[in-house]
Structure 1
Amino acid sequence: MTDSINSKPARGLYPDIEPYDSGHMPTGGKHKIYYEQSGNPAGIPVVVLHGGPGGGTSPNLRCYFNPDGYRIILLDQRGCGKSTPHASEDVSLEDNTTWHLVADIEALREKLGIEKWVVFGGSWGSTLALAYSLTHPDRVAGLILRGIFLVRPSELDWFYQDGASHIYPDIWDKFIAPIPQEERGDLLSAYVKRLNGPDKATQVRCALAWSGWEGDTLSIEGPSDSASKFSDPAFALAFARIESWYFKNGGFFESDNWVLENIGRIRAIPGWIVQGRYDVVTPMTTAWELKKAWPEAKFNLVRKAGHSSSDPGILEGLVAAADEALVALTR
């Protein structure tokens, strides 16, 4: 599940800034990971994990943080954004799992000489932030999470089989259109087959339908708030291929509840959770389960918001959490 990639809202964010450093980090295999740094080189480090998987970063992700106090690090995960190879051109998804991404994050931390950093992630970014933190808890100074998603079968069934379809039946019809009636009992498998099949036109049609379904359900405002990026074939191909690959494999976790089963490893780390009440993409039940398993974390339920990080209440909640974390860690 991705972040909103809509244009920057008019209120709430810090001003636009440009990176002072960027590059590509080799991984030892075919992948090279794009990263950038902005803000204050001597500030509190924060690593920003984008959604999807496969969504890529966007410039407005820098703007949730006070640039005077934070050293802001963005990276494009394997196969998307400015990382290479791009999954719209390279159909192979080898060496692209949650644990490869966790290793990339840790390698980047070491490369940049950072002892500990704040980990910030929304949607799939929250999944990856939790997986990284549970694997390297001694390297995490704080966690800021939005739109909690744990890649469990119940969550995938809700969004890709039977659940959100009852709220957005008009958009759902567009999503299922490329799939024959006889294969609609397992839409995830049907999409995986076509997105990685031999016919380019079918790949693109299915990628745009997959991408459009998510783009049109992100915001509480509905499809009118959808970003144009979701209709770009190159973005959609990488996004749909990588997402469906991860989801078909259950996020590559050992068990459906791996995160919640291991949450004790990070309960001492300061945490902030921001969740929209009317989030259709990653419904609140998962965030609520995380809150109960991790009662020490601060939980901000935004009453009039959906999944999009650009919904005003979500945006304001994330900026407030980042500001609060900065004050706490600066002390």
Structure 2
Amino acid sequence: MLARPGGAELYWECSGNAHGRPAVYLHGGPGGSLGKGGYRRRFDPAKHLIVGVDQRGTGRSTPWAIDDLDSLDTNTTQTLIADIDALREHLGIEVWLLHGVSWGSTLALAYALAHPARVTEIVLTAVTTGGRDEITWITETVGAIFPEAWDALSRDVPTGRRVVDHYAQLLRDADPAVRSGAADRWDAWESAHISLDPSWRPGDRHADPRIRQNFATLVTHYWSNDCFLTGADTVLARAPRLAPIPGVLVHGRLDVSGPAVIPWRLHRAWEGSRLRIVDTEGHGGAIEMELTAQAIDEFAAAR
């Protein structure tokens, strides 16, 4: 655990070769976690010092967002960037490769833009950049494909108000029943729009009610604030600055939750990037993970 300002403690783990090329994995969400550690399979353990970290407020980091709602406003992208760089310093790492999946790709890009001298390469899967248009798509526009699920999500939202703003408020309500109900409805919506993914299987996406509520609280908090990356500070606006850093973007053509135009626009703005689209997969399938591991291997071989 790494102690951080405000009483937060970050869970981190290392594996692989202690003297290998450092690489850090940034998980999805916001509100996800390292889970059972499957991310490690994408790195050659003989070649890499593999670092994983549960982001502030989730996973095995403490306290969880739902247990410290008074401090939620201090949980921002900029705070997470500071957390990640504090971990780098704590581990005595000079530079490292960044690997992020889904929200983790937005966080990796934001970190690289803040600390370009600390980044050797970037490998992103199921790419997001945290833009307002992406948030509008995944919380409202994609409802045209899932009208029943979107009606259940949005029917009580006041006219003219963003759905995500409404849920961010509900998930901070003083009444636990209001928070719990909002988390359940949000989880049902997340499960609906990912259901067209070819690798999706029926079942409880978040069987534990505390996990459901923590995930919903963090994701709506970040999305309601446009991932704390607005105006001239959006990732896409600053993407040309990434040109000196080589990167690989891996994305599924059938990703309904995050259309392929997202990595396409990033690739066009980032001169140092390569884009791999997998026509048969959605939001992070097996082939995408194979291509991700291949890209990481290629960067290791080139050094």
TM class by smaller structure? over 0.9
Choose which of 106, 116, 120 in structure 1 pairs with 2:85: 106
Which shifted more, 211-220 or 71-80? 211-220
| Residue number in structure 1 paired with 2:289 | 315
| Residue number in structure 1 paired with 2:108 | 129
Shift of 1:28: 2.3
TM-score (norm 2): 0.92
| Residue number in structure 1 paired with 2:6 | 29
Judging changes above 3 Å, is the alpha-carbon distance between structure 1 residues 67 and 25 closer, same or farther for their aligned structure 2 residues? same
Query: Which residue identity does 1:91 align to in structure 2?
Result: L
CA deviation string 1:185-222 (max 9, x = no partner): 52112211211102212211211221232244336446
Partners of 2:10 and 2:234 lie apart in 1 by 26
Would you say 1:234 and 2:210 are equivalent positions? Answer: yes
Partners of 1:238 and 1:36 lie apart in 2 by 22
| Residue number in structure 2 paired with 1:8 | none
Query: Which residue identity does 2:229 align to in structure 1?
Result: F
SS of 1:180 mapped into structure 2: coil
Partners of 1:258 and 1:284 lie apart in 2 by 18
Partners of 1:184 and 1:305 lie apart in 2 by 35
Which is richer in helix?
2
CA deviation string 1:133-160 (max 9, x = no partner): 0110010011001222222221111111
Partners of 2:287 and 2:87 lie apart in 1 by 32
CA deviation string 1:279-329 (max 9, x = no partner): 11221112111011113311101101111x2x2222222122222222123
Alignment of 1:189-208 (within 5 A): 189-208=165-184
Unaligned runs of 5+ in 2: none
Shift of 1:129: 0.3
Shift of 1:270: 1.4
Q: Is the 8 A contact 2:197 2:256 kept in 1?
A: no
Alignment of 1:148-159 (within 5 A): 148-159=127-138
Which shifted more, 319-328 or 116-125? 319-328
| Residue number in structure 1 paired with 2:47 | 69
Alignment of 1:130-149 (within 5 A): 130-149=109-128
Partners of 2:193 and 2:302 lie apart in 1 by 35
Alignment of 1:167-178 (within 5 A): 167-176=145-154
SS of 1:151 mapped into structure 2: coil
Alignment of 1:81-96 (within 5 A): 81-92=59-70, 93-96=72-75
Judging changes above 3 Å, is the alpha-carbon distance between structure 1 residues 34 and 251 closer, same or farther for their aligned structure 2 residues? same
Partners of 2:169 and 2:198 lie apart in 1 by 29
Q: Is the 8 A contact 2:197 2:255 kept in 1?
A: no
Shift of 1:229: 4.7
SS of 2:98 mapped into structure 1: strand
| Residue number in structure 2 paired with 1:211 | 187
Q: Aligned-residue CA RMSD in angstroms?
A: 2.0
SS of 1:323 mapped into structure 2: helix
Partners of 1:145 and 1:132 lie apart in 2 by 13
Partners of 2:8 and 2:266 lie apart in 1 by 32
Partners of 2:288 and 2:204 lie apart in 1 by 21
CA deviation string 1:240-289 (max 9, x = no partner): 11111111111112417622222233211110100111211221112111
Query: Which residue identity does 1:67 align to in structure 2?
Result: P
Choose which of 280, 298, 302 in structure 2 pairs with 1:324: 298
Partners of 1:144 and 1:103 lie apart in 2 by 20
TM-score (norm 1): 0.85
Shift of 1:173: 4.3
Judging changes above 3 Å, is the alpha-carbon distance between structure 1 residues 169 and 257 closer, same or farther for their aligned structure 2 residues? farther
Give aligned-pair identity as a percent: 37
Judging changes above 3 Å, is the alpha-carbon distance between structure 1 residues 186 and 222 closer, same or farther for their aligned structure 2 residues? farther
Q: Is the 8 A contact 1:211 1:231 kept in 2?
A: no
Judging changes above 3 Å, is the alpha-carbon distance between structure 1 residues 256 and 238 closer, same or farther for their aligned structure 2 residues? farther
| Residue number in structure 2 paired with 1:3 | none
Judging changes above 3 Å, is the alpha-carbon distance between structure 1 residues 306 and 174 closer, same or farther for their aligned structure 2 residues? farther
Partners of 2:85 and 2:2 lie apart in 1 by 12
CA deviation string 1:28-52 (max 9, x = no partner): 2211111001111111111000111
Aligned residues: 301
Judging changes above 3 Å, is the alpha-carbon distance between structure 1 residues 264 and 89 closer, same or farther for their aligned structure 2 residues? same
SS of 1:300 mapped into structure 2: strand
| Residue number in structure 1 paired with 2:94 | 115
